[in-house]
Structure 1
Amino acid sequence: MTATLVAEDVRRSYGETVALDGVSLSVDAGEVFALVGPNGAGKTTLVRALTGTTDAEGSVELFGADPLDVDRERVGLLPQAFDPPARLTARELLDYYAGLYDEARDIETVLSDVGLVGDADTWYENLSGGQKRRTCVGSALVNDPDLLFLDEPTTGIDPAGRRALWDLLESLADGGTTIVLTTHDMAEAHRLADRVGLLADGRLVAADDPDTLVAEYGGESRLVVETDADPAALDLSYPAERTGDSLVVSDVPPEAIGDVVDALAAAGASYDALTWSEPDLEEVYLELASTAGEYGYRPATGRLDRRGEGDRDAAAADAEGER
């Protein structure tokens, strides 16, 4: 399959802050690639580098050409920070952005796609946060791009609106649109992305399809039993240990939960509740970010502690504002 986007050894620094440290990736035509990572890991800076909206070392090609040489009608971009004129309605804003292109989509169709038909004539400043974000998403779709960059597209959108937007993005991908998005929503990344890349400390530390990442880095399933039972007194075929007030049994398939219950009963031990969970993309995120040195994770408390100094994307935003 032909790659729509190819980046090799992309680097960007802002003073002493290293925002991107040798990032290489490729995204095939029609693929959805999700970038996840801690705040300040460099996601927004990478989107800017890939779209040619910030200077960077290394090589970036879109459709086989320098980003600045690509027909702008082929690329759509929704920045993380986007503040259109407040005294225009959603319809007027989309009509304005559509007027920047020789060929644009029907505005009413775009309004329908992003769920704004009923609020199309409301001033932007009077829209809710989620409605504003959907208007901004619409502005990136008016030119019917072949390659779409979305930096945290569903921020501030309610659950129903978020799922509707997911449906829209899936439809665009099914139609051949290549999509690169950043997100902090692991469920969003898992549902939408053909591949997920974790950016940490300015480096792409892993990239693969979500299920493969979960299988490789997500760890084992866990059955948490609220009981005072001693694991040494139980006849179990699975590793078990006490954590706080609970018994944690690892690597238990759901069909074997009954075996654990039987073992408790045989030992005369009672329990108040059972909770089974399997690893997911969030566990992958925590594992890889911790390994990369971005976070220390304490499973006993569920707390995340930031390590290191400097916020890469904040430094990038400050530097870009001074340009």
Structure 2
Amino acid sequence: MPLNEFSLIERFFANHSQRNDLVLGIGDDAAIVEVPKDHQLVISSDTLVEGVHFLPNIPPRALGHKALAVNLSDLAAMGAEPRWATLSISLPSLDEQWLAEFSAGLFELAEFFNVALIGGDTTRGPLSITITIHGVIPKDKALLRSSAMPGDWLYVTGSIGGSNLALQSLLDEDFAHEYQQHFNKDQQQAHLDKHYFPQPRVLAGYGLRGVANAVIDISDGLYGDLRHILKASDCDAKLWLEKLPVVEGLEQFLGREQALKMALCGGEDYELCFTVPEANKGSLDIALSYSGVNHQCVGQLSRGDGQIELLEHGQAKAIELPISWDHFTTSA
């Protein structure tokens, strides 16, 4: 029997992860969940559109993972615990093999973070995925962009630049040829995994509660995302370029300035950028020790209006940086 909308949902998306706080899941007009006492609900939503957010030939398992990961990254930046998600997907046709792989990637990550899929919608149309993630956080403990203070130290988790490096190798054959000559197979796979299977820093978000002042996830590039913190908090920042955790080998491949441009503006790293006051700096290592992610101090904040000063070993460094991605001002 050919698949219809309801059999599609039943076969690929219903009856997967369950939670004790899920009162009513997929199968009715709406889901019902229990929010724990003295907690607040945290909600984020992202839409991924073919040709805008992902290439047409992306492996469906990677797309399932990434669609959920970008939402989990938003909750990580708030310090929230992810619990439930809804999925709305527009499909040009019903491809059972594609759906099986897509749902496998989605649920593999959902089960790792104990996230239950509780509803959504399916429709026919250009390939587009919208996930809304719901989480909880103890009351008034959320990490905000607007809470940075002058004097805070600026940090970044993990490494930056690897995702965009992989993307450029997928987009440009000449770039890909040189890239493959410079990086070994393991490095190439690590970059591709960073792009296709980003790892949201949820555990790091937990550790930063009560330690960090302000947090944002790095989706559009460190330079642009940092400015969101600075503008919301009325701060400026000195960014120490020699301290940036640029992905290994990038500078040797592209040269110093081009490597910095990719690391600062490439985007889709899904690491965390955060600020920590002097009083909490000594406890940061312990706070993040169980998250399994490295962190690097890359600058310091001062009072201001959202400006970033680039410094190299204490000296001002002039680099012409591209603007951050904006769907309505940036050409694809």
User: Do the structures match in fold with TM over 0.5?
Assistant: no
So what's the TM-score if we normalise by structure 2? 0.25
Structure ID, larger Rg = 1
So what's the TM-score if we normalise by structure 1? 0.25
